[in-house]
Amino acid sequence: MNLKITYLIGAIVAITIIGIFSYLILTNNINENTNNIVIAGSTSVQPVAQALANSYMNKHPNVNITVSGGDSSVGINSVHSGQVNIGTSSRNLTSSESNGLKQYSIGEDAIAIIVNIQNPINNISTEQLMDIYTGKITNWNQLGGNNATITGITREIGSGTRYDFEKTVLGNNSYTNNIKVSSSNYDALQTVAVSPNAIGYVARNQLDPEVKVLEVNNISLTQQNVADGEYPMNRQMLFLVKGEPTGVIKDFINFSLGPQGQAIINNTEYNSTSNIIYQGIAGLSGAG
């Protein structure tokens, strides 16, 4: 009886060891040798990442790339946990977040300040934005506009667009209590488009001509002003990888950073109308 139990225990141990080794081998293949790439994170980066993925898969039909949104925090946390191969972020990482991650800046983005198309205001300063979002300015007539109460729209916590907006505009100041929270770039666009007295902000690659884009500090949101660093609300679009990328992941990143990838990014980010940057919003949702 004891001998049978001993054999049984030995068999179980052997099967377990084989299973563990098989799992480790499979995991290693998934991480390094697979032709599948999973990308997730900022939806400000999502349309660019999707365009890059489509072009790369056309050149490499044996490769499958899945791109999804969430927000910048999702991208950072997912790549840390190994749930994705590439995380995306539209904000800079903290020192603790960046630990163990390789960062690649694939291009420049910018935050667009938007109002309703009927709003007569065309320019706003970063100081005036701070006064609106902290409650010091509450009526458009204080800025030379209509006699109407301002409805300020912000993004949800975790959004990289919100993070950069707060860093540039609010500093250490707090929002006024009547600021409304929007769950996505798309939601912010739709709210401003139908609300005559609203003001909000979105990633530039998710703009729509149904809203008006304001100059900020008398500087228009144009491709040239973003490239030159003149526009005051610029930021980087990041690809994040845990450790050193290898295989097809490394090749895809190199493609994204190369001439063809950069041309795709520039073409995806904007469509120029009177030198103002626009991008269709159909099918785009989630936090940026």
In contact, 170 and 134? CB cutoff 8 Å:
yes
Place of tokens 């975790």: 158
In contact, 133 and 176? CB cutoff 8 Å:
yes
Place of tokens 């050149």: 59
Check whether domain 10-108+237-278 has CATH 3.40.190.10, yes or no: yes
Q: What is the pLDDT of residue 91?
A: 87
C-alpha to C-alpha distance for 132 and 143, rounded to whole angstroms: 10
Which of 211, 202, 130 is closest to 161 using CA atoms? 202
Query: What are the tokens at 30?
Result: 């998934």
Query: What are the tokens at 265?
Result: 């990014």
DSSP 97: H
C-alpha to C-alpha distance for 114 and 202, rounded to whole angstroms: 8
Backbone angles phi, psi at 105, to 5 degrees: -85, 110
Backbone angles phi, psi at 106, to 5 degrees: -90, -10
CA max distance for the chain: 94
Q: What is the pLDDT of residue 281?
A: 27
- Give the domain 110-228 fold: D-Maltodextrin-Binding Protein; domain 2 (3.40.190)
Would you write out the chain's pLDDT as a tens digit for each of its 288 residues?
444 444 444 444 444 333 433 333 333 333 444 799 999 998 788 889 999 999 999 999 999 999 998 888 999 999 999 999 999 998 889 899 999 999 999 988 899 999 999 999 999 999 999 999 999 999 999 999 999 999 999 998 888 889 999 999 999 999 999 999 998 888 999 999 999 999 999 988 778 889 999 999 999 998 889 888 899 998 889 999 999 999 999 999 999 999 999 999 887 754 333 333 333 222 333 445
Q: How many residues does the chain have?
A: 288
Q: What is the pLDDT of residue 185?
A: 83
C-alpha to C-alpha distance for 79 and 211, rounded to whole angstroms: 34
pTM above 0.75, yes or no: no
Q: What is the DSSP string of 156-186?
A: -TT-HHHHHHIIIIITT----TTPEEESSHH
Domain with CATH 3.40.190.10 in the chain: 10-108+237-278, 110-228
Q: What is the pLDDT of residue 288?
A: 58
